[in-house]
Amino acid sequence: MRAALFLIGPVLLFLGLSYLLPFLGIVELSFTDPQPGLAQYQKVLTDPLTLSVIARTLRLCILVTLVSVTAAYVITLLWVRGSPLVRSLTELCIMIPFWLSILSRAFGWLAMLSNRGLLNSWMKHLGLIDSSLQMTRNEFAVVVGMAHYLIPFAIFPLATAMRNVDERVLTAADGMGASRGRIFWQVFLPMTRSGILGATLLVFVFSIGFYVTPALLGGGQSVLIAELIYLWIFQIPQWGMAAAMSVVLMLAVGGILYVLMRRYGEMAK
Amino acid sequence: MNRLRPGLVATLLASLVALFLLMPLIAVVPVSFTARRYLSLPDGHWSWRHYEALFSDPDWGHSLLTSLQVDLLASLLAVILATAFCIGIWMLRPRLAGLMTGVVLLPMVAPPVVSSLTLYFFLTRLSQWNSIIAYDKLGGVVVAHMVMIVPYAVVVLMVALSQVDRRMDLAAQSMGASVPRRIFGVILPNLRFGLLGAFFLCFLLSWDEIGVTLFVTSVETITLPRRMWMGLRDNVDPAIAALSVILILIVTVIVVLRALILLRRARKAG
């Protein structure tokens, strides 16, 4: 078993020392800083400020998830079932933004939406508005930016599900005279259910611990959980609160992933 | 069959989504040519000043160098660790293989902000003991990046290994090859594309890494994304638009090239 030690050991040792052990340190802090006990957790779950941040995070993340999965479904349809040319073009539209840095994408939205940005200039040119619309530093910008980042992550599970749809079932429905709409709503959509569920949970899990895009596009006006943790570390040091919030976040995400794996396990059977 | 292709409504809606996905990429182009020092559109006067600033300001060059050092080192080490782990699991099939894989994949599924906090805690503690693998030091950033990218390398290599024919390894084993011989003579040569893919993905992830980097650096070790962040946060600097245009061009060329290669391969095969 010397081979096991040299092959499997190093990465476990590395992550154990640099990730698992420090995380236990965070858990310890959440129970001890500044006072021993459950005070930090009680504050995280009862303080009006943190509750409002948690509520805003949940509200925005649910909205972002709905927008992302719906948009992703429509474009995946074209990517998987379009003609070969359409498929290649759609793939470019998906992949180029996907591989682009998250910061460039957030900046792109600032360039698009800010007061002197593209959209405001166009609308002024066309005479639709007189003065600039405020479209950044608010929840609208956060939702747009997050959805833009997360749509590709919804596309991949949806594409897998759509590729697995048995062509013969669709042909059979078509042969028996079902209309196109009926084939989509009653045959195709239900057969991609597992992909929809996977995409929804994946996007939700990703969105809930999101820091960079909300911080840049929200401009400090709509603070989400992740930004609150950042503030508790670097602006108004409250390590215990940051730690307790992290543990709560980790448990929530762990719970969602557990449900996801259980559901997929059942579907695989 | 044509009847079952997406119809007009679906195509129209999907085009809107495609436009949405491309919109911010289009918007940065005019902004990068503004003559002003703040985020604005060029009003009749187009200027290259922000592109020039990227190349003349030593800070950007310095950050590029820092990024390349961190990303190459972190990707290389992460791929080595991941390769050893995956081969170990594949060859030896230990009990608890599922649990061990789960532990290794943890940084990928944990919320990024929790990982950031954890690594910040880890590196500030280490700073009391040494000044190499520490907060705001190159070694510290490398370790933080490694933690975040190792899971992705493991996923890519696990998939690649599942394509390797186990019988080859068994043949080598039955002919008396030692474990190192089996690894270096049989498995690794068959895994070269997986290794390349894992390294490429790790480098890309590390190149873009900002969530954790933001927590573990401050003024000394400034990677390229970290410098972009500073330019975005303080006063929106149009140099970032210029840099973004360059990045968009690079990504577009690579993605289009890849699509063309795949298309040619498909034509040949079909």
Q: What is the pLDDT of residues A73-85, one digit of tens each?
A: 999 999 999 888 8
Q: Can you list the alpha helix ranges (DSSP code H) found in chain B?
A: 8-32, 49-56, 58-92, 97-109, 112-126, 138-162, 166-174, 179-181, 188-190, 192-208, 211-216, 224-233, 239-269
Q: Is B10 in Cβ contact with A99 (below 8 Å)?
A: no
Residue of B nearest to A77 (CA): B6
Q: At B127, give phi and psi (nearest 5°).
A: -60, -25
Average pLDDT score, chain A: 90
Would you call A85 an interface residue with chain B, using a CB distance cutoff of 8 Å?
no
Q: Is A117 in Cβ contact with B236 (below 8 Å)?
A: no
- State the pLDDT at residue B1: 44
Restricting to A residues 17-76, those with a Cβ less than 8 Å away from any Cβ of B are 18-23, 25-26, 29, 71-72, 74-75
In a mutational test of the B interface, the residue from A1, A7, A183 whose CB has the highest number of chain B CBs within 10 Å is: A7
A232-241: which pairs have CB atoms within 8 A and are 24 or more residues apart?
A233/B117, A233/B120, A233/B215, A239/A29, A239/A33, A240/A29, A240/A30, A240/A32, A240/A33, A240/A34, A240/A35, A240/A39, A240/A40, A241/A40, A241/A43, A241/A44, A241/A50
At B131, list the tokens.
């000044």
Task: Mention the CATH class of domain A41-268.
Answer: mainly alpha
Distance between CA atoms of residues B99 and A150, nearest Å: 29
Q: Which residues in chain B are contacts of A11 at CB distance < 8 A?
A: 81-82, 84-85, 104, 150, 154
**Which member of A77, A174, A205 has the closest CB to residue B6?**
A77
| Percent of chain B topping pLDDT 90 | 64
Q: Is A99 in Cβ contact with B204 (below 8 Å)?
A: yes
Domain boundaries, chain B: 27-56+241-270, 62-237
Residues contacting A101, CB < 8 A, separation 6+:
B207, B208, B225, B228, B244, B247
- State the pLDDT at residue A267: 62
**Cα separations (Å) of A85 from A94, A132, B226?**
14, 39, 39
**Which member of A95, A111, A151 has the closest CB to residue B24?**
A111
Q: In the block, which residue shows the tokens 């270096």? A: B184
Q: Is B232 in Cβ contact with A81 (below 8 Å)?
A: no
Restricting to A residues 136-155, those with a Cβ less than 8 Å away from any Cβ of B are 148, 151
Q: What is the pLDDT of residues B167-200, one digit of tens each?
A: 999 999 999 999 889 999 899 999 999 999 999 9
Q: Is A174 in Cβ contact with B3 (below 8 Å)?
A: yes
Q: Is A26 in Cβ contact with B113 (below 8 Å)?
A: no
Q: Is B25 in Cβ contact with A97 (below 8 Å)?
A: yes
Q: What is the pLDDT of residues B33-49, one digit of tens each?
A: 988 888 888 887 888 89
Q: What is the mean pLDDT of residues A45-70?
A: 94
Spatial contact of B255 and A92, defined as CB atoms under 8 Å apart? yes
- ipTM above 0.85? yes
Cβ neighbours around A220 below 10 Å, total: 12
Distance between CA atoms of residues B141 and A38, nearest Å: 33
For A42-61, b/e burial (b = at least 16 CB within 10 A) is ebbeeeeebeebbebbeebb
- State the pLDDT at residue A29: 93
| Percent of chain A topping pLDDT 90 | 56
Spatial contact of B91 and A2, defined as CB atoms under 8 Å apart? no
Distance between CA atoms of residues A74 and A146, nearest Å: 18
Q: What is the pLDDT of residues B249-267, one digit of tens each?
A: 999 999 999 888 888 888 8
Q: Superfamily for B62-237?
A: MetI-like (1.10.3720.10)
Q: Which residues in chain A are contacts of B229 at CB distance < 8 A?
A: 103, 212
**What's the predicted TM-score (pTM) here?**
0.90
Average pLDDT score, chain B: 90
At A42, list the tokens.
């009680």
Residue B3 in this model has a pLDDT that exceeds 60: no
Spatial contact of A245 and A190, defined as CB atoms under 8 Å apart? no
**Which member of B18, B125, B150 has the closest CB to residue A11?**
B150
Q: What is the pLDDT of residues B223-238, one digit of tens each?
A: 999 999 998 887 788 8
Residue A49 in this model has a pLDDT that exceeds 80: yes
Q: Is B94 in Cβ contact with A174 (below 8 Å)?
A: no
Domain boundaries, chain A: 41-268
| Percent of chain A topping pLDDT 70 | 97
Q: Is B24 in Cβ contact with A108 (below 8 Å)?
A: yes
Would you call A97 an interface residue with chain B, using a CB distance cutoff of 8 Å?
yes
Distance from CA of A90 to the nearest CA of B (A): 7
In a mutational test of the A interface, the residue from B12, B15, B21, B244 whose CB has the highest number of chain A CBs within 10 Å is: B21
Torsion of CA B236, B208, B20, B28, to 10 degrees: 40
Q: What is the pLDDT of residues B85-107, one digit of tens each?
A: 999 999 888 888 888 999 999 99
At A18, list the tokens.
């640099």
Torsion of CA B8, B11, B13, B19, to 10 degrees: -140
Asked if the bond preceding A34 is cis, omega within 30° of 0, the reply is yes
For A144-165, b/e burial (b = at least 16 CB within 10 A) is bbbbbbbbbbbbbbbbbbbeeb
Q: Which residues in chain B are contacts of A90 at CB distance < 8 A?
A: 14, 18
Distance between CA atoms of residues A36 and A41, nearest Å: 11
| SS3 of residue B229 by DSSP | helix
Residue A221 in this model has a pLDDT that exceeds 70: yes
Ranking A258-267, B65-74, B253-262 by mean pLDDT, the lowest is A258-267
Q: Which residues in chain A are contacts of B81 at CB distance < 8 A?
A: 10-11, 14
Q: Running DSSP on this structure, what letter comes out for residue A221? A: S
Q: What is the mean pLDDT of residues B144-170?
A: 93
- State the pLDDT at residue A103: 93
